[in-house]
Structure 1
């Protein structure tokens, strides 16, 4: 007599987690994201970072973070992609990466004795699921009234020419500052991890 018992279907295997990609070649952002103990790849976003006429620094940071995430997501539609950008805001004037000793000197002379707002935006995009969110972390930094000799010594010692605002707060640049005010401490280094974690969870990623 044939066995008439229903044959149970095998349990569905859990869906594999989506790959995570950091849309940035910044070593600072790579190190910060590494703190979350997540496996991720890195891809260059290749986005034009030229400000638009009259664009406010915060709007520039938000636009570029999202543009970087979309640029990489277009090549990796199944992945969860992080894009980020930082713009130093001195009285509404955007200050980018100096790229040279001369430009860094000029930036630090502009910022001495001033409060600069570092606008750091992070975006998370996944084309496959239609997920897209972006957040901004604003960090207020008050610079000491620096003398020219101090500026020169600092730049020769640390050469922060790839940092918006020409100072590395995680290094010797902390000696240039009077105060830092932020609700997301790693934002000043380049990636606001509290906001990044919030967006990654919203995108469906399980964090440790």
Structure 2
């Protein structure tokens, strides 16, 4: 049987992939996530998803490897993972009352053949006009410093959101399962063993 690999250490992506009830292993891709000059948010996310999958091919030469990345776009500016409390405060203040698009890219790499399936799934989010006090309280509780845009929709971040629009609710959490299911079917590894 083909090995399925999630090239991510994200507990959220792992939890999402478990929903498909396929056995898989995880691997940590070590890549530079810096956007390239003149690269759109969708292009950055897509490139990084593919690079993450390719980064672990030496460890898994006969596998289907999943890479995923997410980049938020606010007024033409890419928002990545804040990394620190201070940067998260800056991000959340800038996002207040604004509409953003989160671009979640998915890549499925067949490491034996080199074939890559790829897709970017956009998700639109309108943030509430929240207070600085709410930002601080939220960050102290949630600590979303490894989350693009500093607001985790799968957690308490929903209190900061006015509305969300998109085709795949799992995409906003970090792994578009609807697109992944189609890719896995094409690759010959359908969830539940049935197309």
TM-score range (shorter-chain normalised) is over 0.9
Pairwise mapping of residues 99-138 of structure 1 onto structure 2 (< 5 A)?
99-138=83-122
- Compare CA radii of gyration and give the structure with the larger one: 1
1:55 corresponds in structure 2 to: 39
Residue 140 in 1 paired to residue 124 in 2?
yes
Pairwise mapping of residues 170-181 of structure 1 onto structure 2 (< 5 A)?
170-181=154-165
Aligned residues: 192
Unaligned runs of 5+ residues in structure 1 are 1-16
CA offset digits 1:148-198 (Å, max 9, x no partner) = 111111111111111111011111110101000010111111101101111
* TM-score of the pair, normalised by structure 1: 0.90
* TM-score of the pair, normalised by structure 2: 0.95
Residue 31 in 1 paired to residue 15 in 2?
yes
CA offset digits 1:78-97 (Å, max 9, x no partner) = 00000000001112211111
1:11 corresponds in structure 2 to: none
Q: CA RMSD in A?
A: 1.0
Kindly state the Cα deviation for residue 75 of structure 1 after the two structures are TM-superposed: 2.9
Is contact 1:73-1:126 (8 Å) kept?
Answer: no
Moved over 4 A (4+): none
